[in-house]
Homo-oligomer: A and B are copies of this chain.
Amino acid sequence: MSPLARILQALLFLSSEPVPADELAAATETEAPDVLGALAELGAALDGHGLVLRELAGGWALASDPDAEEPARRLLARPRTPALTPAQSETLAVVAYLQPVSRPEIARIRGVASDSAASTLLDRGLVEEAGRSPFGAILYRTTPLFLKLFGLRAVEDLPDVGQWDPSPEEEGALRDRLLAAGAARAGAAPEAQPAAP
């Protein structure tokens, strides 16, 4: 490994948070392109090692290899972070894609008040406050920790949300099932008696 790659490995080992390339360049008194080259070298050199180099949350960080997860939890007695509940992941999805967004907006989209899920996400450090709406409601946005835990470099790296929109066919099917599915069977189904007004 080049001297720069070695020093970068040491710096990332010492930093508890992802470090942007320009801060690494300033600390090593080099230029960002040199840093990026040396990081590529470091990433290759870590092949076969127990550490991995990851670019996320606007910077670079070292993490332990996933194979070490079980032994590490035994050694450090660190419990596995609980999975996200459906309500939490929905609330987080709305915040991630619409940030900054207020609780009433989240509730309107989800069709249900989301205060408990939002509080849990705040406690877990995945979302944070982002000022207030013109009506005084607190707005929420995602945090760097969110990016780190979800393996994202930036919020812009989130996949296009439009891909989960129902296709025109699915939308049609949904409409049909809501409005017309029963009508086609009307008369055949035993329930289909004229209803008393």
Q: CB within 8 Å of B: which residues of A?
A: 1, 3, 5-11, 13-15, 19, 23-24, 26-29, 45, 48-51, 62, 64-65, 67-68, 71-72, 74-76, 78, 85-87, 111-112, 116-117, 122, 125, 128-132, 136, 138-139, 185
Contacts and interface: CB of A to CB of B under 8 A. Distances in A.
Contacts of A7: 50, 65, 67-68, 71
A5 B50 contact: yes
Q: How many copies does the complex hold?
A: 2
A43 B19 CA distance: 26
A138 B186 CA distance: 11
Give the secondary structure class of A's interface: helix
Given A3-B67, A132-B86, A185-B136, A74 B9 contact: no
A62 B14 CA distance: 10
| Residue among A72, A75, A139 facing the most chain B CB atoms (10 A cut-off) | A75
A76 B19 CA distance: 10
Contacts of A9: 49-51, 65
B129 A6 contact: no
Given A50-B1, A50-B8, A132-B86, A13 B71 contact: no
A89 B112 CA distance: 22
13 contacts: A1-B48, A5-B50, A9-B50, A11-B71, A13-B62, A13-B64, A14-B64, A14-B76, A26-B74, A26-B78, A86-B130, A111-B138, A112-B129
B6 A86 contact: no
Given A6-B68, A7-B71, A86-B130, 20 more contacts: A1-B50, A3-B67, A5-B50, A7-B65, A9-B50, A9-B51, A10-B50, A10-B51, A10-B72, A13-B51, A14-B75, A14-B76, A26-B75, A26-B78, A27-B71, A27-B72, A85-B128, A86-B131, A111-B138, A117-B129
